[in-house]
Amino acid sequence: MLLVGLTGNIASGKSSVARLLAAHGATIVDADLLAREVVQPGQPALERIVALWGDEMLNPDGTLDRAALRQRVFGHQAELDALNEIVHPEVADLSGRRVDEARERGDPIVVYDVPLLFERKLTEQFDCIVLVDAPRPVRLERLVRDRELHEAEAMKMIAAQMPAEL
């Protein structure tokens, strides 16, 4: 099995590349989807988030208020680090299980779509790495347009990631 790391900054086009690879038969494991899964009601990561920052991180239905959490952590490195320490180990465990399942099925190519591949020092786990990039103004425009974020909030999210130029 060929294990490919697919990475790039937020709104760079990783999902579009993943869809193209999937259309050609690759199995996709998406870290962003896994991150949403591990913070569902009843999951330990959500319980730890609420324990750390309080019930104001929850919507009335008990789901994570992603907007409140973004406002709390982006632009505040210590807060973002705390969130990453909660979510990333859970995502790593779940992604490992999904890759193992693909290996057991005999899937020939598995693409792990993971935005923070370099930041989390995951390069050694992959047979090859594909980096997707787009200019910062394009990524900003996509975040504002597609995710309906305020420009200032989008800029904080962009600033929180490693620049592609490094």
Which pLDDT belongs to residue 19? 97
What average pLDDT does the chain have? 93
pLDDT at site 12: 92
Q: Give a yes or no: residue 166 inside a domain.
A: no
| Contact predicate 27/111, CB 8 Å | yes
Give the domain CATH number at 73: 3.40.50.300
What total number of domains does the chain contain?
1
Closest CA to 26 of 106, 146, 83, 110: 110
Question: Residues in the chain, how many?
Answer: 166
Which residue range(s) make up the domain with 145?
2-159
Residue 116 in this model has a pLDDT that exceeds 90: no
pTM of the shown model: 0.85
Q: Is the pLDDT of residue 89 over 60?
A: yes
